[in-house]
Structure 1
Amino acid sequence: MASAQMIPMLQKLLYVHKELNHLAAEKTDTLKKGDVAALDVLLEKENEYVKTLRNLEEQRTQTSTLTMSKLIEQAAPEEIQQLRHLQEQLKKEYLLLKQQNQLNQQLLHQSLQFVNMSMNMLIPEPEKLTYSSSKANGYTGASSIALFDSKA
């Protein structure tokens, strides 16, 4: 039956999701530290796991196009409990990975905002290079208003 073939594949999918969660947690620590070299290494590992995940998912769809719910309905009684457990574990790992990736995305966004703010502070706005009359820019010469009150 299809469920007997799917159980080992679902176990592999679960393993890959757990590894991706582990890498996502490491990525969070690396982003907090600002270690770009370590982040590159983690991204390479993550890409390998994503490729593996795509291959497994492709194999799964070639083996059976059934959803997990349908697969559980059609499974033999001795396989139902194992399939339900795998379904719950996969759901849990997927949601955890989604949350971790959202956190990492927020950290990256904050880092980029900080870099942009720092760049804006270091690189001043260029002055206007066009000609303007002295009255247009507020300078009126001798009749200008004093900066401080000399009577005080």
Structure 2
Amino acid sequence: MASAQMIPMLKKLLYVHKELNHLASEKTEILKKGDVAALDALFEKENEHVKTLRALEEERNQISTLTMSELIEQAAPAEIQQLQDLQEQLKKEYLFLKQQNQLNQQLLHQSLQFVNMSMNMLIPEPEKLTYSSSKANGYAGNSFTLFDSKA
């Protein structure tokens, strides 16, 4: 039955998700420190885990295209509890990863805002090259105009 083949597959998926969660927690600490070199190395590790996750997901789809709920409904009575436990653990790991990634995204956004603010403070704003009112130029006191409006 498909559920017997799916249990080892789901355990592998759970393991990879736990590893990704560990890397996401490490990423949070690295972002707080601002260590760009460590962040690059972590991205490479993360990409390897994502590739593994994709391969496992393709393999899972080859075994069965059923959802977890459908798989649990069709499973043998001895496998139902194990599948439900795996489903709950995968859900928990997925939600933790989602929250951790949102936190990391916020930290990156704040870092970019800080960099932009620092750049704006260091680089002066260029003078405007557009036309302005006559009061802004040196002719404000004079009533000299280039055109004779009476003509």
TM-score between the two structures when normalised by the length of structure 1: 0.87
Q: CA deviation at 1:19?
A: 0.2
- SS of corresponding position for 1:98: helix
Q: CA deviation at 1:127?
A: 1.4
Residues 91-124 of structure 1 show CA distances to partners (whole Å, capped at 9, x for unaligned) of 0000000000000000000000000000000000
Tell me which residue corresponds to 2:57: 57
Runs of 4 or more consecutive aligned structure 1 residues displaced over 2 Å after TM superposition: 128-133, 138-142
* Structure 1 segment 69-148 matched on structure 2, within 5 A: 69-129=69-129, 135-137=134-136
Aligned: 1:5 with 2:5: yes
Q: Structure 2 CA distance, aligned partners of 1:89 and 1:40?
A: 29
Structure 1 regions of 5+ residues with no counterpart?
A: 143-152
Q: Which letter does structure 2 place at the counterpart of 1:119? A: M
**Number of matched pairs:** 142
Percent identity reads 83
Q: Which letter does structure 1 place at the counterpart of 2:79? A: E
Aligned: 1:17 with 2:17: yes
Q: CA deviation at 1:14?
A: 0.1
Q: Which letter does structure 1 place at the counterpart of 2:109? A: H
Q: Which letter does structure 1 place at the counterpart of 2:47? A: N
Structure 2 regions of 5+ residues with no counterpart?
A: 142-151
Q: Structure 2 CA distance, aligned partners of 1:20 and 1:125?
A: 43
Q: Which letter does structure 2 place at the counterpart of 1:137? A: A
- SS of corresponding position for 2:12: helix
Q: 1:62 to 1:131 in 2, by over 3 A?
A: closer
Tell me which residue corresponds to 1:148: none
Residues 32-71 of structure 1 show CA distances to partners (whole Å, capped at 9, x for unaligned) of 0000000001100000000000000000011100000010
Q: Structure 1 CA distance, aligned partners of 2:140 and 2:125?
A: 26
